[in-house]
Every structure is written in structure tokens, then in C-alpha cells.
Amino acid sequence: MRDIDEIVSDFELLDDWEDRYRFLIELGRELPPMDEADMNEHTKVPGCVSQVWLTSRTDEGSPPRIRFAGQSDAHIVKGLVAVALSLYSGRTAPEILTLDAEALFARIGLQDHLTPQRSNGLRSMVRRIQADAKAAMEAA
């Protein structure tokens, strides 16, 4: 998975939104496949028009870091999943809860160029990731 700073930099190099959509699709294609067993009602993200599944696992390290995996059945949304995972995966729960995803998405222009349904879905993904981080903190 690409580093979030690399993704932001690549977005900033692309002026045309058609090119940015193609880049999002490319990011989605780079997502590792998700085990079919993990694509179920428990891991499905509510609030997304397309189907989106997210899983999380907490590493044993100190401090523990949360690793996310995700998948979608729609090309652009899959790219949005890749952006969200690049932003959040591998961070500690406190880091996840303090990240300003909205500012990052605004910086690369996602909020201005996504349909309202995709924007809502992206917010739903972020809420799910933050909920998993809160649960990890409570379990610690």
C-alpha cells in the first residue's frame, strides 16, 4: 500500500479530475485482495451506497498499532478505501482519533469532486475506522 504523503503528492501533480479519478481507480486496484470470509455483514460499512468492507487487527507491539484491510465492489470507491487505509493503517489508536481526515480529503479535492453518496460513504468509512480505534483503546 502506498504512503499517504505519496498519494497526496501524486494527487497534487494531477490537474485534471479525469486523471485523478483514474488515479483513484489505480489505487483501488493496488489494494490487497480480501478474504471472502471477511466480506460479511459484520465487516460491511453501513452508509455506503456501494458495498464496502473493513477489518482491523491490533498488533502486539508497544504502542500497539492498528492495521486495516478493506475492499469494495465499485472501482472509485475501492480507491477511496485505499486512500483511507493509507491514512489510518499502521497508526496507534490515539493517532487515528486525532487525524483530521476531512482536511486531508479537502486538500486533495475529494470533497469538491465526489458525489454526495460517495462523500457520505467516505465519512462512514472514517467513522468505522475511528470506532475500531476507540474499541482497541477500551480493550487495552
Question: Over the stretch 71-103, which tens digit does the pLDDT of each residue have?
Answer: 999 999 999 999 999 999 999 999 999 999 989
**From residue 5, how far is each of 1, 8, 78 by CA, in Å?**
12, 5, 19
Q: What is the pLDDT of residue 110?
A: 84
Residue 15 lies in domain:
4-139
- The one catalytic residue among 7, 48, 80, 85: 48
Q: For the whole model, what pTM was predicted?
A: 0.94
pLDDT greater than 80 at residue 140: no
70 in catalytic set: no
- Percent of the chain's residues with pLDDT above 90: 76
Q: What is the pLDDT of residue 61?
A: 78
Residue 23 sits in a domain whose CATH number is 3.90.1010.10
**From residue 102, how far is each of 39, 63, 125 by CA, in Å?**
26, 25, 12
- Per DSSP, the three-state class of 124 is helix
- Identify whether the C-beta of residue 129 lies closer than 8 Å to the C-beta of residue 54: yes
123/110 Cα distance (integer angstroms): 12
Domain count for the chain, please give it.
Answer: 1
- Residue 28's identity, in one-letter code, is G
